[in-house]
Amino acid sequence: MASDDEANAAAVAAEEDAEAAEGKTWRRKGKHDKPKPWDEDPNIDHWKIEKFDPSWNEGGMLEVSSFSTLFPQYREKYLQESWPIVKGALKEHGISCELNLVEGSMTVSTTRKTRDPFIIIKARELIKLLSRSVPAPQAIKILDDEMNCDIIKIGGLVRNKERFVKRRERLLGPNLSTLKAIEILTGCYILVQGNTVAAMGSYKGRGLKQVRRIVEDCIKNVKHPVYHIKELLIKRELAKNPALATESWDRFLPKFKKKNVKQKKPQTKEKKPYTPFRHLNSLARLMRSL
């Protein structure tokens, strides 16, 4: 046993020396953690999700999984009109859905025809987006494997309602120009409604992460969305240069300093010590003058 261990250790050491001679450095966590040939292959897309094949799960689901969510009353009419579209899209994946107008809720659940185990999670995200005023044709796109969503809660970030409304309008911009610019640069669909911001896109290009950061910085008054747009434009141009792929881009990005404007302090008069006999003092002064 000892000789085998020594032989293995010698083989690993020889392999490390060979890699060091080639200029490669590998971080080893264990003896089986060896470099794979596809780790450095530029032609392989590590973010690509393999399409589900129904033959992988011919037996179907063992248990019924269901999710439900409430929706506001003003969405009732629209959901009632667009429900056949939603029902048809979910039926293709073997998911049943129910619209309860009495309770104001939407429910999705698996059936015997369900094959993909993860599709119920996608269906749950679909009804969440519908409840947050996302149009049905856009919300149905979440059933695609490459599409993800993020519902950002912004209602509790600011206490003052007037400030909250102003900062939310700042995120939209005049004629929705700021919101459209963010959508183009991040590659995401964004809808601001009430106390939430619904974003749909892919995590591949960090689009959803960028949207969350921009929204939270705007509502918290950390950074104006225009500055984020400038940064994204610069990053887009830098990404076109392959020579800068492995370098830090910090020196190219603009650095914005937050300037706190000092407010004028209100002038306060110093209070004189309280004397209960003020009229006596005035009489004494009058007598002295006489």
Q: How many residues does the chain have?
A: 290
Q: Specify the pLDDT at position 140.
A: 94
**What is the mean pLDDT of the segment spanning 152-170?**
91
Q: Specify the pLDDT at position 10.
A: 64
Q: Specify the pLDDT at position 55.
A: 85
Q: Which of 180-184, 205-209, 210-214, 257-261 is least confident?
A: 257-261
CB 210 within 8 A of CB 202: no
16-46 pLDDT, tens digit per residue, is 666 555 555 555 566 677 777 777 777 777 7
Q: Which structural domains are found in the chain, ordered by start?
A: 53-145 (3.30.1370.10), 146-246 (3.30.1370.10)
73-88 pLDDT, tens digit per residue, is 999 999 999 999 999 9
CB atoms within 10 A of CB 35: 13
CA distances to 162, 260, 266, 269, 289 from 263, rounded to whole Å, are 20, 9, 9, 19, 46
pTM for the model: 0.71
Identity of residue 272: K
Q: Specify the pLDDT at position 97.
A: 93
Output the CA torsion 120→123→129→134 (10° steps). 160
Q: Is 161's pLDDT higher than 80?
A: yes
Q: Is 282's pLDDT higher than 90?
A: no
Percent of the chain with pLDDT over 90: 43
Q: Specify the pLDDT at position 105.
A: 94
Q: Is 109's pLDDT higher than 80?
A: yes
Q: Using N-to-C axis directions, what is the helix angle for 161-172 and 177-186, rounded to 10°?
A: 60
245-269 pLDDT, tens digit per residue, is 777 777 777 777 766 666 777 777 7
